[in-house]
Structure 1
Amino acid sequence: MKKLLKLGLGLSVFALAACANGGGAKKDGEIDIVTTFYPVYEFTKQVVGDDANVELLIPAGTEVHDFEPSAKNIATIQEADAFVYENENMETWVPHLLESVDAEKVNVNKATEGMLLLPGGHEDHDHEEDHDHEEEGHHHAFDPHVWLSPSRSIQLVETIRDGLSEKYPEKKEDFGKNAAAYIEKLQDLDKEYTDTLSAAKQKYFVTQHTAFAYLALDYGLKQVSITGLSADEDPTPARLAQLTNYIKENDIKYIYFEENASKSIAETLAKEAGVSLDVLNPLESLTDEAMKDGADYISVMQDNLKALEKTTSQPGKDIVPEEGEAAKTVYQGYFEDSAVKDRSLSDYAGDWQSVYPYLLDGTLDQVWDYKAKLSGTMTAAEYKEYYDTGYKTDINQIKIDDKTMEFIINGESHKYNYKYVGYKILTYKKGNRGVRFLFEATDTDAGDYKFVQFSDHKIAPGETDHFHIFYGGESQEKLFEEMEKWPTYYPSDMNAMEIAQEMLAH
């Protein structure tokens, strides 16, 4: 809350300043672009070349997650021609900032626009005591670190190129040529990663900064994080003992830290736990000195690849995360019978849209790609085929209240009254289970909509956020046999990308 108050004050200060100076109109006639942190800055510079001035807002040495824009920073953005940021899960202050930015004047570009992100998690960073932070560490609803996968960085560059080209059509050709030349370099980097890591003898790598999920996913590796381990502070004796046992049990040779890992912790771990430390640079910033020495995104990512090779070139067993196997949840189909409770139709009340059109138009293709890489059991094409069967339906929309359901097919309405008639617990081939909640139409002319069953991964009363539906005119028992087709519905006010992101999050 204090952060928001500070930001709000900063916005107010800027608003007053803008009124006083007429908005700070530029005089040089050149395109001025403000970018947030290093990868966004580098990619934008590569796109615009000499056709624009590009400014880096967050300086090297500043923790990007903790950055709060000053009144001066806000003024700089407001006076720019364009503002490029990565994602609100990284630059958490941006949504509040954009409330004050004149979008007619400042071209705002989100580099991850159109990209689905992995569910987020916790990153351990120890900070000095700061009561502005509600919790220690950083929590992302979704993981923003896509730039650490060379293959995904190509898409970031393309998105920045397209956004700026739309704003400055007279520069489109130049921006396109610049981007193409840089993308070719990124493609070469992607090939280096693919060729090197496809031959990995050890797929698991252990890191203190859990920023490398996309890199791992795209190149066939598994990131394992060690929690509660700071890059610049020795572990306690108790933690060191735990860590030593964990390292020896899993035969870990390297633990990867950020570049600021202290010699003290390296020496302590090397001596007590028999493990070496190396650097995986998350590339959130580069110092002016490093850039003057020729360091850039590609050279640092090449250094990261060489560091990873120290692990991947040595055969080893699968490394178990410290926290062990993830708990089995109700959502995954693991629960006690006694936990199942009756539900009412009001749990499903709302205006719902079928997701099937989004499968057909390709919006969900990113979901299938993620699923294929995460599971390794089916290809993306096989997942799409599987869900094409599951989602297929001609019911475009369903409207539900506490007594009725209205099924809409190509504008034609079929509306009936329903009563709740109980639930059925089903056991699936994998050993997990699901609950279907059963409803029956009281209208005699309901036909194919006489019997309805809902499955929404919940087992007790509570509003649903999406559901699978089964319906027919024969009997409830007949519907229990249906396992391959489960038309799926999300709220009608969600757009396609929001639905796809929600699917991936679960």
Structure 2
Amino acid sequence: MTKLRIALLLALTILISSTAATAGQLQTTVSIPPLKYFVEKIGGELVKANIMVKAGSSPATYEPQPRQMAELSKSEIYFAIGVPFERAWLPRFKSANSHLEIINLGSGVAHHAMRAHVHEDGQHEQSKHEDHQTTKRIMDPHVWLAPQLVRIISQQIRDTLIEHDPANKQAYIHNYLGFAEEINELDSELLKTFSKNKTGFSFMVYHPSWGYFARAYGLTQIPIELEGKEPSPKKLAQLINLAKKNSVKAIFIQPQFSKKSAQAIADSIGAKILTADPLAEDWTANLRRTAGAFATRH
């Protein structure tokens, strides 16, 4: 048998095995990469999770590709989380696949409004003052960044998988308990990280993605933009003063957004530009890494 025939047979065997494995899996689609991490932690090899918003894309402006819509037709479950593109596209997903069950994983947790930049007097809106304002009370969808809320989200994933695949109930429960331990260990680690500074931490970000994380660990998030709007020159000056007042040493950006305003502030105060990606797929490693950056670069 020639080397070419052996290679072809090997490739065919791998393809058949892969197809068979996929055929036996519960087919799901998720909006963003962290949800894939959650679903696969609980579903294990029993579940396949396709991601709608690929790495580097923004959930605020994303439009699914034709290939993704074709893949969606094979899914039994769609796990949503409340990111902006879902408002327009979830009804279309349902129209394209009448058998698709859409589960909003954000429905079981309490949401908070996103905060604007700073007051006219330069005070941050997440200060201790009770007269802070919100912009049209836009609810923050980034609930997956707080371990306490992911506990609730993971229970909903577990129950949904069991409902669709009751024969593997015990496997889903077993996997869920393992993931719950992982969440608890991470939460305890982050509490220790931030309890070292009794005066609290302030961190400046371009997009206000980390509000739930900040709330969970007693931090103060200072955002530069809201709703994709760059700050005016006056607001930019206020933010520079606020960054100096809080001794900000780094400004955190995410790959999906421009860093123009963040760079202007960083240049003015001699701060570094660092990346904190709320959409990274490896959720546990990402939160651990980001927490360390917040704690040492505030």
1:53 has 2:48 as partner: yes
Q: 1:307 to 1:241 in 2, by over 3 A?
A: same
- Specify which of 80, 94, 112 is matched with residue 106 of structure 2: 112
Unaligned 5+ residue runs, structure 2?
1-21, 118-134
Determine helix, strand or coil for the equivalent of 2:204: strand
- Deviation string for 1:298-354 (max 9, x for gaps)? 111111011111145xxxxxxxxxxxxxxxxxxxxxxxxxxxxxxxxxxxxxxxxxx
Which residue of 1 is the match for residue 12 of structure 2? Answer: none
Q: 1:78 to 1:121 in 2, by over 3 A?
A: farther
Q: 1:94 to 1:114 in 2, by over 3 A?
A: farther
Q: 1:310 to 1:180 in 2, by over 3 A?
A: same
Q: 1:251 to 1:121 in 2, by over 3 A?
A: closer
User: What amino acid sits opposite 1:178 in the alignment?
Assistant: N
* Counterpart-to-counterpart distance in 2, 1:266 and 1:213: 18
Unaligned 5+ residue runs, structure 1?
1-26, 124-137, 287-295, 313-506
Q: 1:216 to 1:240 in 2, by over 3 A?
A: closer
Question: Max radius of gyration: which structure?
Answer: 1
Q: 1:215 to 1:158 in 2, by over 3 A?
A: same
Q: Is the 8 A contact 2:61 2:85 kept in 1?
A: no
* Counterpart-to-counterpart distance in 2, 1:167 and 1:139: 38
| Shift in Å, 1:266 | 7.2
* Counterpart-to-counterpart distance in 2, 1:101 and 1:44: 23
Q: Kindly, what percent of the aligned residue pairs are identical?
A: 24
User: What amino acid sits opposite 2:251 in the alignment?
Assistant: I
Which residue of 2 is the match for residue 301 of structure 1? Answer: 287
- TM-score after normalising by structure 2: 0.73
Structure 1 segments of 4+ aligned residues over 6 angstroms from their partners = 235-240, 260-267
- Deviation string for 1:367-413 (max 9, x for gaps)? xxxxxxxxxxxxxxxxxxxxxxxxxxxxxxxxxxxxxxxxxxxxxxx
Higher relative contact order (CA 8 A, sep 6+): 2
- Deviation string for 1:101-152 (max 9, x for gaps)? 655x3333222232221124569xxxxxxxxxxxxxx988421101111221
Q: 1:32 to 1:224 in 2, by over 3 A?
A: same
* Counterpart-to-counterpart distance in 2, 1:140 and 1:95: 22
Q: Is the 8 A contact 2:63 2:85 kept in 1?
A: no
What is the Cα-based RMSD across aligned positions, in Å?
3.4
Q: 1:150 to 1:253 in 2, by over 3 A?
A: same
User: What amino acid sits opposite 2:174 in the alignment?
Assistant: K
- Specify which of 148, 164, 168 is matched with residue 167 of structure 1: 164
Which residue of 2 is the match for residue 63 of structure 1? Answer: 58
Q: Is the 8 A contact 1:207 1:223 kept in 2?
A: yes
| Shift in Å, 1:30 | 3.4
- Specify which of 22, 25, 41 is matched with residue 30 of structure 1: 25
* Counterpart-to-counterpart distance in 2, 1:217 and 1:92: 26
- TM-score after normalising by structure 1: 0.45
Which residue of 2 is the match for residue 148 of structure 1? Answer: 145
Determine helix, strand or coil for the equivalent of 1:278: strand
Determine helix, strand or coil for the equivalent of 1:79: coil
Which residue of 2 is the match for residue 331 of structure 1? Answer: none
1:205 has 2:191 as partner: no
Which residue of 1 is the match for residue 184 of structure 2? Answer: 187
| Shift in Å, 1:188 | 0.5
| Shift in Å, 1:164 | 1.2
Which residue of 1 is the match for residue 129 of structure 2? Answer: none
Query: Which moved further from structure 2: 64-73 or 241-250?
Result: 241-250
- Deviation string for 1:196-249 (max 9, x for gaps)? 11232333222211011111111111212223899xx9x998876555444334
* Counterpart-to-counterpart distance in 2, 1:241 and 1:119: 24
Going by fraction, where is helix more abundant, 1 or 2?
2
User: What amino acid sits opposite 1:303 in the alignment?
Assistant: R
